[in-house]
Amino acid sequence: MRLILLGAPGSGKGTIAEELTKQYGVVHISTGDIFRANIKEKTPLGTEAKQYMDRGELVPDSITIAMIGDRLAQPDCASAFMLDGFPRTIPQAEELDKLLADKGVSLDAVISVRISDDVIKTRVSDRRVCESCGASFSLSFRPTKVEGICDLCGGNVVQREDDKPETVLSRLKTYHEKTQPLTDFYQKKGLILSADNEVSYIQAIEQINKGFIARGIIRE
């Protein structure tokens, strides 16, 4: 099972990814995690990427693709993986196609998480994240047991700068501008599988499972 997970910031991708990982054992590959790991471990690619980031420049696609390629080459990705945060553009999608073709495989589905901007703004404004382990909480739906303290590791739980209302609006605008062409790209390939996360992730997961069955990815 080889998947891509598309969704706006705050759309609930993380929760959906967690559930799909539990159900199917797919490896959840977050681009952000790959970057952080490479930089922390001071790999050649991580060192090169950090130089661009320190200058406030975008990391070239060639570096990002190389990191993705290294990750997909690891044994745990041999049979099932789910990319989250990549690709973001059509050129990146085309490079991913080439990378997978070289391995003799192809994508099974591109899950597009649907949710209105108004709901996202509310959910993201409520979100809090642990500075130490990255665990995510919500003031409304999943508050910490002790205010400001992570339930998992005891670290400080804060609101990220990019979760503040004014930043969320800017991020959503950028996402829609960049992702719509990508959605169209995969729609033409017949790979888009829509999941409505407006009400709850359970509804979204049900839609995804039905889509998997209809496409023959899993058996009923």
Residue 78 three-state SS: coil
Instruction: Examine the residue annotation and report whether 71 is marked as an active-site residue of this protein.
Output: no
Active-site entry in 88, 114, 121, 142 = 88
**Element containing residue 113 per DSSP (H, E):** strand 109-114
DSSP state of 194: E
Instruction: Examine the residue annotation and report whether 142 is marked as an active-site residue of this protein.
Output: no
Instruction: Examine the residue annotation and report whether 127 is marked as an active-site residue of this protein.
Output: yes
Helices 165-188 and 117-126 meet at what angle, rounded to 10? 130
Active-site entry in 36, 103, 160, 178 = 160
Instruction: Examine the residue annotation and report whether 114 is marked as an active-site residue of this protein.
Output: no
Please give the Cα distance from 143 to 36 (Å, whole number). Answer: 26
Active-site entry in 13, 71, 123, 128 = 13
Instruction: Examine the residue annotation and report whether 215 is marked as an active-site residue of this protein.
Output: no
Residue whose entry in the numeric block shows the structure tokens 């047991």: 145
Beta bridge partners of 5: 84, 111
Active-site entry in 50, 114, 121, 171 = 171
In the chain, the amino acid numbered 182 is L
Active-site entry in 2, 71, 123, 127 = 127
- 110 close to 192: Cβ distance less than 8 angstroms: yes
Beta bridge partners of 193: 111
Residue spans of alpha helices (H) in the chain: 13-24, 31-40, 44-54, 61-72, 90-102, 117-126, 165-188, 201-214
Residues annotated catalytic, as ranges: 13, 88, 127, 160, 171
